[in-house]
Amino acid sequence: MKEMIGKASTKVKNSVERGAVKKFAEAVGDMHPIYLDEEVGKQSRFGQNIAPPTFARVFDYGVIEGLNLPNKGLIHGEQIYHYERPLLVGEDVYCYAKVSDYYEKPGALGNMGFVVLENNGEDKDGKTIFTSKSIVILSEAYRKVQQV
């Protein structure tokens, strides 16, 4: 896994669609009018509706070539978001992922592997809108099967 540090996906265009923002807000139980009511958005300091802070979780960040993590059996360790500004309803966001670190720590059942992933979102001019960091934990059993 250490050889994956620094590898990144290519940028993928995502849209902050009004309908998707509404469904997301409903799903997380945050029906704040700044997300949903167009008049409230127009009167806000942003001049339009914004998306909930964790909406970026639904974006496509592309594929990091060679990083073959399964969809099941991983432990989600942490998720942190940092915004330069909110996501604006109707805008396009260009997203990519990067492996920023890998380390191991001893656990009760053997060594645990920790993959640190960064997700990034930029505007059409390449200016950062947000970054997020997540830690994916690989159990000793998974590491043995995958020979990590």
**Integer angstrom CA distances of residue 133 from 14, 52, 116, 119, 125:** 19, 17, 7, 6, 22
Backbone Cα Rg of the chain = 18
Model's pTM, two decimal places? Answer: 0.87
Task: Give residue 46's pLDDT.
Answer: 96
For residue 46, give the amino acid letter.
F
Task: Give residue 109's pLDDT.
Answer: 73
> Are 77 and 135 contacting, i.e. CB atoms less than 8 angstroms apart?
yes
Q: Which residue has the tokens 């960040």?
A: 61
For residue 137, give the amino acid letter.
I
> Are 12 and 94 contacting, i.e. CB atoms less than 8 angstroms apart?
yes
Tens place of pLDDT for every residue, the chain, 148 residues? 889 999 999 999 999 999 999 999 999 999 999 999 999 999 999 999 999 999 999 999 999 999 988 766 688 888 999 999 999 999 999 999 999 999 999 878 778 889 999 999 999 999 999 999 999 998 766 666 666 5
Residues counted in the chain:
148
Task: Give residue 146's pLDDT.
Answer: 62
126 Ramachandran zone, left/alpha/beta (phi>0; psi -120 to 50): left
